[in-house]
Amino acid sequence: MSPRSPRVLIIGEFGAGALGLYYARAFAALGWATTRYDMWAGYARGGVLAGSRVLRRLLRPALWALMAREAIALAGREAPDLVLATKAPFLGRGAVRALRRAAGAPVAMVYPDSPYGAYTMRADVLAVLAEFDRVYIWSRRLLGRLHADGVTAAAYLPFAFDPTDYGAEGAVARPECGRPHAIAFIGQRYDKREAWLAALRGLDVGVWGLGWERSEVARSGAACVHGAAVFGAAAAAIYRGARVAVNVLHADNLPAHNMRTFEIPPCRTVMLTEATEEIEAFFEPERACLTAADPRALRGQAERALADAALARAVAEGGARAARPHTYEARSRAIVADVVGTARVLAPGAGR
């Protein structure tokens, strides 16, 4: 009898563009049987709470306790070889320990935000992270800080891209304004991002994301604002329709990178990004991306890319080449080798 395929339980969100979805696809591509605990379904409770953020916050303690019990029970039924959580703030210290007992397997965390930033959702986040067998963090600066604060199992793992969504081939978006834009920006509005995009006034800029409809950028006509938030394949279709895609990082992501760092270049679109050492280590400036240290420099680089088609084409192609190794399948192989061990099956058919 052939041995069964290795199993992974992934705990997270699985909507368009979600990290949980990308890791679920990647492990499936490696031949792992993949079970999901959908955090959003746990919050929404069959749609009853889907439209009420206030009610979900009021019921959060009870909801989190229920969701933790559900995830632990699922681990016990499925007996996975690995439990991989993506943020999953409903898991407390006791729940992580119970998950390990129920699964009889390592429990790892891919943490997509800063544990020290505004989006942690738990005051005891460091104590919870210390319970995991491995905590993957995308920032070398945060890695050192986590080690100093007692999360000794933390390890560096950058973001990546999913070729199912992001690539040079595929649909090109038709914005509701009726015309494509030479420059695209996708992301939530923050004061810093608005200041950077304001520097592009007079250029053909399209903006997608939450919070922009009432912004000064929208009121002044500095950009054509499309109110919808877009993720995954829909975001890639916008990038493919633009010559330049702008990437301005949230303060929590400095001095590292964000998910868009790896999602723009595979679309063979020029990534014009805020400069950081980590981004420049992955994507060489002037060859695989264009960088800017401030809004004034952003304007100058955008004008260069729009005026010089040969430069834009060379940078876009260089970015696509540089991005190629950085898939979530590659990241999943690294997780398996690190947490489960090299004896585990890393690809379909291996070791069988």
Query: Are 69 and 49 a contacting pair, CB within 8 Å?
Result: no
Query: Are 17 and 24 a contacting pair, CB within 8 Å?
Result: no
* Domain limits for position 37: 7-160+327-340
Task: With a cut of 50, say whether residue 351 has pLDDT above it.
Answer: no
41 and 152 both lie in a single domain: yes
Look at residue 298 in the predicted model and tell me its pLDDT: 98
User: What is the spatial distance between Cα 296 and Cα 194, in angstroms, rounded to a whole number?
Assistant: 13
Task: With a cut of 60, say whether residue 86 has pLDDT above it.
Answer: yes
How many domains, in total, are found in the chain?
2
Distance of CA 348 to the CA centre of its chain: 26
Task: With a cut of 70, say whether residue 319 has pLDDT above it.
Answer: yes
Task: With a cut of 50, say whether residue 140 has pLDDT above it.
Answer: yes
Look at residue 346 in the predicted model and tell me its pLDDT: 33
152 and 256 both lie in a single domain: no
| Per-residue confidence band for 350, with pLDDT thresholds at 50, 70 and 90 | very low
Look at residue 58 in the predicted model and tell me its pLDDT: 80
- pTM of the prediction? 0.93
Phi-psi region of 150 (alpha: psi -120 to 50; beta: other; left: phi over 0): left
User: What is the spatial distance between Cα 10 and Cα 75, in angstroms, rounded to a whole number?
Assistant: 10
187 and 310 both lie in a single domain: yes
142 and 18 both lie in a single domain: yes
156 and 233 both lie in a single domain: no
146 and 238 both lie in a single domain: no
Task: Please name the residues in contact with 124: beta carbons below 8 A apart, sequence gap of 6 or more.
Answer: 92, 93
Question: Is residue 177 included in any domain, yes or no?
Answer: no
140 and 86 both lie in a single domain: yes
- In the chain, the percentage of residues whose pLDDT exceeds 70 is 93
Region 204-231: what's the mean pLDDT? 94
User: What is the spatial distance between Cα 134 and Cα 16, in angstroms, rounded to a whole number?
Assistant: 26
User: What is the spatial distance between Cα 9 and Cα 84, in angstroms, rounded to a whole number?
Assistant: 6
Cα dist from 163 to 6, 21, 244, whole Å: 23, 13, 20
Q: What confidence tens digit (pLDDT) does each residue in 238-270 have? A: 999 999 999 999 999 999 999 999 999 999 999
User: What is the spatial distance between Cα 16 and Cα 39, in angstroms, rounded to a whole number?
Assistant: 14
264 and 300 both lie in a single domain: yes
Task: With a cut of 70, say whether residue 349 has pLDDT above it.
Answer: no
247 and 331 both lie in a single domain: no
313 and 334 both lie in a single domain: no
Q: Which range is least confidently modeled, 40-44, 80-84, 203-207?
A: 40-44
Distance of CA 221 to the CA centre of its chain: 30
Task: With a cut of 70, say whether residue 342 has pLDDT above it.
Answer: no
249 and 331 both lie in a single domain: no
CATH of the domain at 93: 3.40.50.2000
Q: What confidence tens digit (pLDDT) does each residue in 12-47 have? A: 999 999 999 999 999 999 999 999 999 988 877 656
User: What is the spatial distance between Cα 165 and Cα 233, in angstroms, rounded to a whole number?
Assistant: 4
* Residue 230: closest CA among 241, 243, 221, 217: 241
Question: Is residue 74 included in any domain, yes or no?
Answer: yes
Question: Is residue 97 included in any domain, yes or no?
Answer: yes
Region 99-120: what's the mean pLDDT? 95
